Amino acid sequence: MATVLLAGGAGYIGSHTALELLNAGYEVVVADNYANSSPEAIRRVEKLTGKPVKLYEADIRDNAALRRIFAENRIDAVIHFAGLKAVGESVAKPLMYYRNNIDTTLSLLEEMAAAGVKNIIFSSSATVYGEANPVPYTETMPRGTCSNPYGWTKSMMEQIFEDAQKADPALSVILLRYFNPIGAHESGMIGEDPQGIPNNLMPYVTQVAVGRRECLTIFGKDYPTPDGTCLRDYIHVVDLAKGHVKAIDYILQHDGLEIFNLGTGTPYSVTDIVETFQRVNGVEVKHVYGERRAGDLPASYANADKALRLLGWKTEKTLDDMCRDSWNWQRQNPNGYRE
């Protein structure tokens, strides 16, 4: 069976993908510098699957470290999760974001070329659609204007992949545009463990519910949406991880560059999330309505038809599943991986 290198694979999406790849019979190698993660996540993946993962502590910008990994393992495909992803922090520290995110991509592509590895899947984001495109987003729409440096790093890295693939037609590239991943593995053993104050909605909700934070602020209730709060395409991280397995199956059989939205196609509002979380879990999430957050779009959701058509992938989990599994993880790990 093929071997897949997960760059940044100890993180939230990477650890869930490692588990699904192992369950599908792939061999998994993970490289991460733990900038926003813990090796404990991978230990738990090994426990859950009963299979080993070869784990490297390495910075993906470090060409020499990558060279060693490619020399020591016969890698068939790479999934590039490694990157910094906090939108607010990227506004405050743009150079750190451009340096880290873009250099990881350049170093990976350079060392893949040197090692003759021809398949790469990249963690992109719905944020590249920008504000001008109408929802639902389809992959043929042009990339738009991003509202923060994090988004621009994704947009620029997509361009880098397109240029690299044009220059080397033997290189196969899949750009996966994720919508809003939430939830956790149903065991509650792995999940999202943000450092510091969470930027994203669901970790904030679970930390309020578990008593780590006082109160959730819902950013804006005067948007042109049915209940006045923003609409997003929340996707269960296990569905998302299974999308990566389908993308690996596909890239090992096809050349060229493809872009896929990974979302459910169904928008929910911030209020829907809070109400569903409270109903499914029987816990209160104290919340207030506040000002809009700069850069937020009223609505972002996918047309997910292409992934169904070409990858045979569609989401299976409901919003109730997402809220239940997020809580199950947080309840069992109130301090994340730091016990």
178 binds, among ligand NAD, ligand UDP, none (CB under 5 to 8 A by kind): ligand NAD
Q: What share of the chain is helix, strand, coil (3-state, %, to 5)?
A: 40, 20, 40
- x/- map, 161-200, ligand NAD, by CB under 6 A: -----------------x-xx-------------------
Q: What's the maximum distance between 2 C-alpha atoms anywhere in the chain?
A: 55
Which does residue 293 touch among ligand NAD, ligand UDP, none (CB within 5 to 8 A, set by kind)?
ligand UDP
- Which run of H or E residues covers position 207? helix 201-209
218 binds ligand UDP, rule: CB under 6 A: yes
Residue 333 in the binding site for ligand NAD (CB under 6 A): no
Among 125, 165, 207, 330, contact with ligand NAD (rule: CB under 6 A): 125
Nearest to 12 by CA among 221, 234, 195, 143: 195
- Is 296 among the residues that bind ligand UDP (CB under 6 A)? yes
Residue 296 interacts, among ligand NAD, ligand UDP, none and using kind-specific CB cut-offs from 5 to 8 Å, with ligand UDP
The verdict on whether 289 is a catalytic residue reads no
* Element of type H or E holding 332: helix 319-332
> In this complex, which beta carbon is closest to ligand UDP, that of residue 165 or of residue 180?
180
Residue 277 touching ligand NAD (CB under 6 A): no
* Beta-strand relationship, 257-262 and 216-219: unpaired
Q: Which residues contact 120 (CB under 8 A, 6 or more apart)?
A: 77, 78, 79, 80, 108, 109, 112, 161, 171, 172, 173, 174, 251
37 sits near ligand NAD (criterion: CB under 6 A): yes
80 three-class SS: strand
Q: At 25, is the secondary structure helix, strand, or coil?
A: coil
Examine residue 200 and tell whether it contacts ligand UDP (CB under 6 A): yes
260, containing H or E segment = strand 257-262
The least distance separating ligand UDP from the CB of residue 204, rounded to whole angstroms, comes to 4
| Contact residue for ligand UDP among 99, 212, 213, 293 (CB under 6 A) | 293
Least CB distance from residue 267 to ligand UDP, whole Å? 11
Report yes or no: 26 and 171 within 8 Å, Cβ to Cβ: no
Nearer to ligand UDP, 121 or 218 (CB): 218
| 206 lies in the binding site for ligand NAD (CB under 6 A) | no
Active site residues: 150
